[in-house]
Amino acid sequence: MNKRSAEETKKRILASARTVFVEEGYAQASMRQIARASGISVGALYLHFKNKEKLYLTFVQEWMEQLNGETREALLDMDDPMEAMRAFIIITIEFVRRNREIIILQGRELGFHFGIELKREFFRERRGVIADIVRRGLAKGVFRECDADEAAKVIFNTLRGFGVSMVLDEDAMFASEACVDMVLHGLLRRNFR
C-alpha cells in the first residue's frame, strides 16, 4: 500500500468511525462495524489502529485539529483584534453546532477523563489564541486594560459553557453574533467605537 492510499484509507476509516460512534455510541461500537463501514477488513483496520480507544483518540485529535485549522486560516491575515475575536467566537460556536453529536457522545459515554491530556493541550492552544487576540487589542488600545491570560480563560470557559448549553438543550441554541456581541462588549473601552 502506498503512502497516499494509506492516508486515504485512514481518512475513510475516521469518517466511518464518526458515523459508527454517533449511531452506536462508543461502548457499543466495534472495530468490526467500523471496518465494515469503511469497506475494509478487520485486519486492515488493525494495521491502522491497534484498538478502538486509539482509533477514537485519533478521531478526536483530528477533529480538534480541524477546529484549530479553521481558526488559524480565518485569523491568518486579520489585523483588527475586534474582527479576530469575532471570527474566533463564530468559528467556535458554528463548530459546536456542526459537531453536536460528537460532543454529546463524549459527555454521555466517555466522561471527563477520557483523552484528558489531549483535551488539556487543545484547551491550552485555544486559550493561547484568545490571549494573543486580547494582547493585540490591548496594544492597539481597542480593549480595556486587563490581564490577557485571565481574559482568555474567562472567554474560553464562557464559550465552553455556551457550547455545552447548546449541545444539551436545543432550546438554548443562539445566534453566533449574539455570543460575539456579549463577549466583545465586555472587552471594549467605554469610549471606543
91 and 166 inside one domain? yes
34 and 102 inside one domain? no
pLDDT in tens, the chain (193 residues): 577 788 899 999 999 999 999 899 888 999 999 999 999 999 999 999 999 999 999 988 998 999 999 999 999 999 999 999 999 999 999 998 888 888 888 777 666 677 889 989 999 999 999 999 999 999 999 998 999 999 999 999 988 887 777 777 777 667 777 777 777 776 666 665 5
165 and 133 inside one domain? yes
68 and 25 inside one domain? no
Cα separation of 72 and 192, whole Å?
A: 27
135 and 177 inside one domain? yes
- Asked if 49 and 21 count as a contact pair (C-beta separation under 8 A), the reply is no
Cα separation of 165 and 118, whole Å?
A: 22
What per-residue confidence (pLDDT) applies to 187? Answer: 62
89 and 164 inside one domain? yes
What per-residue confidence (pLDDT) applies to 97? Answer: 86
What per-residue confidence (pLDDT) applies to 183? Answer: 75
145 and 80 inside one domain? yes
Query: What is the extent of the structural domain holding 60?
Result: 51-185
26 and 66 inside one domain? no
In a domain, 190, yes or no: no
In a domain, 193, yes or no: no
Look at the chain and report how many structural domains it folds into. 2
What per-residue confidence (pLDDT) applies to 105? Answer: 80
Which CATH number goes with the domain that contains 37? 1.10.10.60
SS3 string, the chain, reads CCHHHHHHHHHHHHHHHHHHHHHHCCCCCCHHHHHHHHCCCHHHHHHHCCCHHHHHHHHHHHHHHHHHHHHHHHHCCCCCHHHHHHHHHHHHHHHHHHCHHHHHHHHHHHCCCCCHHHHHHHHHHHHHHHHHHHHHHHHCCCECCCCHHHHHHHHHHHHHHHHHHHHHCHHHCCCHHHHHHHHHHCCECCCCC
What per-residue confidence (pLDDT) applies to 110? Answer: 66
66 and 141 inside one domain? yes
CA dihedral 171, 175, 178, 184 (to 10 degrees): 120
Q: How many residues does the chain have?
A: 193
